[in-house]
Homo-oligomer: A and B are copies of this chain.
């Protein structure tokens, strides 16, 4: 494999000149630049990533801390990864995957101390997330997807849950629905302080009260069978129910099954709206679900951009971004015609 020395010889310049041409860190005459580029071209030269990282002060590698099977990974996480990888590539960075179990902070510390990466993206941040403490302690630059209160100076990208919930409720309200229930994720998830679960619950209550409506909500594990039972009991207890907001992809088929068994047609008799759902998932069902779509790709991209900008000091540290989600009207919501 060609090295920088080979390029320098071939171009008839010094080693450092090649380096400076490559990094643009000092002015080089156009003529020299051309000669060097030509030599690189002809030799099929690419800078050795390891040597570069070792000699310089950054490695141009970032890690994604990815909880592959915590809550059971969904489409969303995958999209985040895909967006992150894309953004990293565009910036000339490599992306390494650090998966769980990193529960024992020691393992994460070992990884950090190898000094392979310039910074890390933390997916699925919780309140009291031990990873955050470790990262802080090691003084490692990072950016969170989600938030957590013990890292007030660290940048994050999160979903605008308030707006998400509001959009969903408003959509149903405008269609004439007044009896709206919410199916959240599991109680355990909620209690663990998982942001999406906690915040949507909070804002659902808040928005419903603003509209003078009675908020009905249930927790549900990521299991269709449980969702099926919950939906049936919801319909029994609340005979006037005409609509449902759900933030639990793996509950959806159970909900639809329960409605179908009661001969309740979606969307004619009942409106269903899924929130924080990837389009892929919404489109998987029949009818396709009206949903407030989670753009994992964008989350991943923004997180990486933010981290790299901080690393390259193109941006102040600790920027907080709330990504607005889009409500996409598909086929599962309609005007409320039925008084049950």
A residues contacting B by CB (< 8 A) are: 1, 44-51, 53-54, 59, 61, 66, 68-69, 72-73, 75, 77-78, 81-82, 85-86, 89, 94-99, 109-110, 113-116, 223-225, 228, 250, 253-254, 256-257, 260, 280, 283-286, 288
Contacts and interface: CB of A to CB of B under 8 A. Distances in A.
A148 to B, nearest CB: 23
Nearest to A288: B224
B225 A286 contact: yes
> 5 nearest interchain CB pairs?
A46-B113, A49-B116, A257-B286, A85-B99, A49-B114
A114 B284 contact: no
Given A110-B46, A113-B44, A97 B99 contact: no
A224 B89 CA distance: 33
Nearest to A72: B280
A96 to B, nearest CB: 5
Given A224-B283, A228-B286, 9 more contacts: A44-B113, A50-B54, A50-B59, A61-B96, A61-B116, A96-B96, A224-B288, A250-B284, A253-B286
A49 B59 CA distance: 11
Nearest to A59: B50
A109 B44 contact: yes
A45 B257 CA distance: 56
B54 A82 contact: no
